[in-house]
Amino acid sequence: MEELSDLLSVKHDAFYLLLRRYVAIDRAFLLRSDLWDEFQSFCAEVGSEGVCDPAFSRVISRMQEAAMDSPWLCVAMRPRIGRWRYIRFHVEAMEHEEIPVRDYLAFKERLVEGRDAGEDWVMEIDFGPFNRDFPRMVESRSIGRGVEFLNRRLSSQLFQEVGKGERWLLEFLRVHQIDGRQLMLGETIRDVPTLRRALRQAEDYLSGQSPEAEWDTVGQRLRSLGFEAGWGRTASRMRDTLHLLSDILEAPDPANLERFLGRIPMIFKLAIFSVHGYFGQANVLGRPDTGGQVVYILDQVQALEKEMRRRLDEQGLDITPRILVVSRLIPEAAGTACDQHLEHIVGTENAYILRVPFRSESGEVVPHWISRFEIWPYLERFTLEAEKEMLAELGGRPDLVIGNYSDGNLVATLMAQRLGITQCNIAHALEKPKYLFSDLYWRDNDDAYHFSCQFTADLISMNAADFIITSTYQEIAGREDTVGQYESYQTFTMPGLYRVLNGVNIFDPKFNIVSPGANENTYFPHTEKAHRLASLHAEIEDLILGGPREDARGVLKESDRPLVFTMARLDRIKNITGLVEWFARDEPLRSQANLLVIAGYVDASHSGDKEEAEQIGIMHELMDRYGLDDQVRWLGTRLDKPLAGELYRYIADRRGVFVQPALFEAFGLTVIEAMISGLPTFATRYGGPLEIIEHGVSGFHIDPNHGEEAARLIRNFLARAAENPEEWRHISDAGIERIKGRYTWSLYAERIMTLSRIYGFWKYITNLERDETRRYLEVIYGLQYRPLAAAIGRD
Ligand code: UDP
Ligand code: LCN
């Protein structure tokens, strides 16, 4: 605001001249890019007069959106990441005032619904009052590092009041059990002085024992002092853990607290919910609604099980951790295992997929696949049935539930509330920011997408979760110039339904960035010759360079050219058809490289999804219109994992590149798979790839709205690489290093297991449970979500 006031004090007339140009565009809403582009042309015209200085540019660059009803123009400004202000200008009177968010949203509603609609009573959703006394971060650089903040803030607060923190910690240590067996502390230690005394005695006792001694040697004595198993496998580890606790009782500090909590045996059983799509281990990827989330979860489960085992082992507990991924059972499984009730997860000891069917209103099992946009009315009943089966399978409550995507997060919410369990959410992809005006013009899309239901579910589960894991910072808070995916739920309106004044607070310490990885056994650099799967090369060569096949279109004529490779589910947002068109229209690129597309099906009759079928039609139309059959190979086939991994490397051997042209990509697992394989990668600047790739260093960002530029960037790179192979190698190496340093499953599992303990601890000893919020969420669930879901109807 200060910047705006300063600007208006020196450039008042010029500023209003620009606003009048905005009004002249004569559209109800202008986006940031519209506002910026118009500013650029304004500057080009008045530039010689020195009007457009950096201060002016800065103010315009902060404008995210404008809503217009001449002579009024309302602007949403984002002066800093996560901070919003709303200004109303009268462009004729040349006056302005700051307005509350409510007025801004009401103004937009009037524009959408017509003049009078804004006068009606409107349901407002506001989580602000519930969180008033809750610790919040202030600096945008702290966003996504919630656990650090929480530990620092709460540990000092907790131990300030003499005796309080210590007592709670003691109580917390007494609640741990597994299958009726007490862990950590027994019955006899009931107050802090006794605990301190016992700690001293135990440390003294252990110092006289062999450092390698285990519980069966030292346990009897420790038990007589009031301790139970769980402090460590060896005497030296036990001592170390006891010592950590004495240090915390003496003078708590966040780092020690994190280390200590990280050792407490709290997580033995884990339930992960991933409901939509085909959740399977083979033959599923690339089917509608079935992509990265499945890959993510299967890799996550392996990594988490390993980490759970490691920690239990270090703490001296011979307990086998159990993990269940709960998904939907689809009787008409289309050649997948999705009709199996229980399936062991390969690469794990004790992790299973548990599948539970959807039911019609009369209780019949629904046999066919259902789009993720249509599944809302099934979820409540699914949750109840899944709960029974899960409890039976695990032999009791899980210690943590993890929800995935809007539907899985809603199920996790319902389950966590019913059973009183710590809940973690993972969005994978929030639909709201993917589609332009998906909130404002929700009615236009509701029949096809039911966003009214989905966004309501999102609001409920985001606010219910104890902690939220995101893959990148931008997923929460965007950047200086882009709005974060979660941030887009902060304030919005769905005219005629409800208005959200405070939907989610991205400064909430529940947000933590923990990035996924690419499975190291499947995806590794093409230069690691010893692990390469040379036996697959003939098959790969046939796939790419071979002749016609039923599941392919196009036969590459000049087979020695480098390949421009892309692979994705064939939905509109992935913009595969966009890439085909850029390639088709760029003659020099066409004469230099071939395009390899793995997506969807070549035969639309194989597709059960409307959007996919539509994209298949466009693919054929483009191939025909531009005569691409000699230069594009389109494979409508699902590759198994080893083959897919080797394919990336094979293309890297031939000095190809990978392109991810999505209109928006929440994270982008293919991007990290391609990069770790050594393929120079060109990926969309909208979403996760903006953060994964450092432009010009470890890959390139492309703007899917400027296809010509993207094609030029790819073509120039290939030309440079043809002249000087070092150019190619340079980017390839940097891409590999980028992924190795930041995106690995072992880092991921370590963080999740620490976070779940810490949030579990704070939830136990403070009011992080937020009963008031829970009650409010129940009202929203009952009075908003349920009727919306019921209106969709079941098959
Ligand atoms: N994938 C695949 N075959 C396909 C399409 C995708 O194996 O035809 C895999 C791909 O390797 C990646 C995942 O599915 O592991 C897609 O994840 P990403 O995050 O890129 O996109 P999503 O599909 O989740 O939107
Ligand atoms: C869903 C998406 O759309 C991708 O962007 C992610 O990479 C994937 O889930 C895994 O989180």
Per residue, what are the HEC states of 189-209?
A: CCCHHHHHHHHHHHHHHHHCC
State whether the beta carbon of 649 lies less than 6 angstroms from ligand 1: no
Q: Is the pLDDT score of 768 beyond 60? A: no
Please give the DSSP secondary-structure letter assigned to residue 320.
Answer: -
Model confidence at 762, pLDDT cuts 50, 70, 90, reads: confident
Q: Is the pLDDT score of 375 beyond 60? A: yes
Tell me, yes or no, whether 440 and 366 share the same domain: yes
Does the residue 127 lie in any domain? no
Q: Is the pLDDT score of 428 beyond 70? A: yes
CATH number at residue 597: 3.40.50.2000
Give the DSSP per-residue string, 603-619. SGGG---HHHHHHHHHH
CA 291 to ligand 1 center in whole angstroms: 4
Which of 606, 554, 600 minimizes the C-alpha distance to 577? 600
CA 186 to ligand 1 center in whole angstroms: 49
Q: Is the pLDDT score of 662 beyond 70? A: yes
State whether the beta carbon of 288 lies less than 6 angstroms from ligand 1: no
State whether the beta carbon of 689 lies less than 6 angstroms from ligand 1: no
pLDDT (tens digit per residue) in 248-277: 998 888 889 899 999 999 999 999 999 999
Instruction: Choose which residue among 670, 673, 686 to substitute to test ligand 1 binding: the one with the highest number of ligand atoms within 8 A of its C-beta.
Output: 670
Does the residue 136 lie in any domain? no
Q: CA 648 to CA 632: how far, in whole Å? A: 17
Q: What's the structural domain count of the chain?
A: 4
What six digits make up the tokens of 146? 């919630």
Model confidence at 463, pLDDT cuts 50, 70, 90, reads: very high
Of ligand 2's atoms, which has the minimum distance to the CA of residue 666?
A: 5
CA 285 to ligand 1 center in whole angstroms: 6
Q: Using DSSP, state whether 700 is helix, strand or coil.
A: strand
CATH number at residue 224: 1.20.120.1230
State whether the beta carbon of 66 lies less than 6 angstroms from ligand 1: no
Say which ligand is closest to the CA of 429: 2
Q: CA 414 to CA 326: how far, in whole Å? A: 14
Of ligand 2's atoms, which has the minimum distance to the CA of residue 296?
A: 10
Model confidence at 109, pLDDT cuts 50, 70, 90, reads: very high
What six digits make up the tokens of 742? 């930041």
Instruction: Choose which residue among 667, 669, 675, 686 to substitute to test ligand 1 binding: the one with the highest number of ligand atoms within 8 A of its C-beta.
Output: 669
Tell me, yes or no, whether 721 and 776 share the same domain: no
CA 557 to ligand 1 center in whole angstroms: 28
Q: CA 349 to CA 578: how far, in whole Å? A: 43
Q: CA 518 to CA 223: how far, in whole Å? A: 44
Measured between its terminal Cα atoms, the distance across the chain in Å is 52
Share of the chain above pLDDT 70, in %: 99
pLDDT (tens digit per residue) in 320-350: 999 999 999 999 999 999 999 999 999 999 9
State whether the beta carbon of 431 lies less than 6 angstroms from ligand 1: no
Say which ligand is closest to the CA of 667: 2
Buried b (16+ CB within 10 A) or exposed e, 15-53: bbbbbeebbeeeeebbebebbeebbeebbeeeeeeebbe
The mean pLDDT value for 667-690 works out to: 97
Does the residue 132 lie in any domain? no
Tell me, yes or no, whether 284 and 424 share the same domain: yes
- Look up residue 634 and give its amino acid: W
Distances (CA, A) of 716 to 588, 652, 712, 713, 725: 10, 18, 6, 5, 13
Tell me, yes or no, whether 629 and 697 share the same domain: yes
State whether the beta carbon of 293 lies less than 6 angstroms from ligand 2: yes
CA 323 to ligand 2 center in whole angstroms: 22
Tell me, yes or no, whether 637 and 705 share the same domain: yes
Share of the chain above pLDDT 90, in %: 86
Tell me, yes or no, whether 735 and 753 share the same domain: no
Model confidence at 480, pLDDT cuts 50, 70, 90, reads: very high
State whether the beta carbon of 665 lies less than 6 angstroms from ligand 2: yes
Does the residue 451 lie in any domain? yes
CA 367 to ligand 1 center in whole angstroms: 25
> Residue 168: what pLDDT?
87
CA 516 to ligand 2 center in whole angstroms: 10
Q: List the domain range (segments joined by +) for residue 681.
A: 529-743
State whether the beta carbon of 661 lies less than 6 angstroms from ligand 1: no
> Could you say which of 84, 99, 114 is where a domain stops?
99
State whether the beta carbon of 292 lies less than 6 angstroms from ligand 2: yes
CA 201 to ligand 2 center in whole angstroms: 52
Instruction: Choose which residue among 428, 519, 523 to substitute to test ligand 2 binding: the one with the highest number of ligand atoms within 8 A of its C-beta.
Output: 428
pLDDT (tens digit per residue) in 210-243: 999 999 999 999 999 999 999 999 999 999 999 9
> Could you say which of 47, 67, 99 is where a domain stops?
99
The mean pLDDT value for 552-571 works out to: 96
Catalogue the E-assigned strands of 639-769: 657-660, 681-684, 700-702
The mean pLDDT value for 469-475 works out to: 97
CATH number at residue 13: 3.10.450.330
State whether the beta carbon of 144 lies less than 6 angstroms from ligand 1: no
State whether the beta carbon of 661 lies less than 6 angstroms from ligand 2: no
- Cα angle 59, 73, 498 (rounded to 5 degrees) comes to 105
244 neighbors 173 (Cβ within 8 angstroms): no
CA 429 to ligand 2 center in whole angstroms: 6
Say which ligand is closest to the CA of 666: 2
State whether the beta carbon of 752 lies less than 6 angstroms from ligand 1: no
Tell me, yes or no, whether 286 and 193 share the same domain: no
pLDDT (tens digit per residue) in 67-108: 999 999 999 999 999 999 999 999 999 999 999 999 999 999
H/E run at residue 727: helix 725-742
Tell me, yes or no, whether 184 and 68 share the same domain: no
Of ligand 1's atoms, which has the minimum distance to the CA of residue 518?
A: 15
* Residue nearest atom 7 of ligand 1, based on CA coordinates: 285
Q: CA 695 to CA 692: how far, in whole Å? A: 9
CA 671 to ligand 1 center in whole angstroms: 10
CA 387 to ligand 1 center in whole angstroms: 30
Instruction: Choose which residue among 576, 669, 752 to substitute to test ligand 2 binding: the one with the highest number of ligand atoms within 8 A of its C-beta.
Output: 669
Of ligand 1's atoms, which has the minimum distance to the CA of residue 428?
A: 24
Say which ligand is closest to the CA of 692: 2
Q: CA 365 to CA 275: how far, in whole Å? A: 15
Does the residue 524 lie in any domain? no
Q: Is the pLDDT score of 535 beyond 60? A: yes
Q: Using DSSP, state whether 629 is helix, strand or coil.
A: coil
Does the residue 24 lie in any domain? yes
Instruction: Choose which residue among 287, 298, 567 to substitute to test ligand 1 binding: the one with the highest number of ligand atoms within 8 A of its C-beta.
Output: 567
Q: Using DSSP, state whether 660 is helix, strand or coil.
A: strand
Q: CA 343 to CA 357: how far, in whole Å? A: 15
Q: Is the pLDDT score of 769 beyond 60? A: no
> Residue 607: what pLDDT?
87
Does the residue 430 lie in any domain? yes
Tell me, yes or no, whether 242 and 386 share the same domain: no
Mean pLDDT of the residues in the chain: 94
Q: CA 776 to CA 782: how far, in whole Å? A: 10
The mean pLDDT value for 417-444 works out to: 95
The mean pLDDT value for 30-58 works out to: 89
Distances (CA, A) of 557 to 576, 631, 759: 22, 7, 58
Q: Is the pLDDT score of 385 beyond 90? A: yes
Does the residue 18 lie in any domain? yes
Tell me, yes or no, whether 571 and 665 share the same domain: yes
pTM for the whole structure: 0.95
> Residue 448: what pLDDT?
92
CA 547 to ligand 2 center in whole angstroms: 33
* Residue nearest atom 8 of ligand 2, based on CA coordinates: 292
Q: Which class for 605: exposed (0-12), middle (13-18), buried (19 or more C-beta within 10 A)?
A: exposed
Q: Is the pLDDT score of 117 beyond 80? A: no
State whether the beta carbon of 567 lies less than 6 angstroms from ligand 1: yes
pLDDT (tens digit per residue) in 147-189: 999 888 877 777 777 677 888 899 999 999 998 899 999 989 9
State whether the beta carbon of 670 lies less than 6 angstroms from ligand 1: yes
> Could you say which of 702, 718, 743 is where a domain stops?
743
Q: CA 155 to CA 148: how far, in whole Å? A: 11
Model confidence at 542, pLDDT cuts 50, 70, 90, reads: very high
* Residue nearest atom 11 of ligand 2, based on CA coordinates: 428
Tell me, yes or no, whether 594 and 613 share the same domain: yes
Say which ligand is closest to the CA of 670: 1
Q: Using DSSP, state whether 64 is helix, strand or coil.
A: strand
Tell me, yes or no, whether 508 and 538 share the same domain: no
Say which ligand is closest to the CA of 291: 1
Q: CA 516 to CA 511: how far, in whole Å? A: 15
Range in 22-31, 42-51, 269-278, 667-676 with the lowest mean pLDDT: 42-51
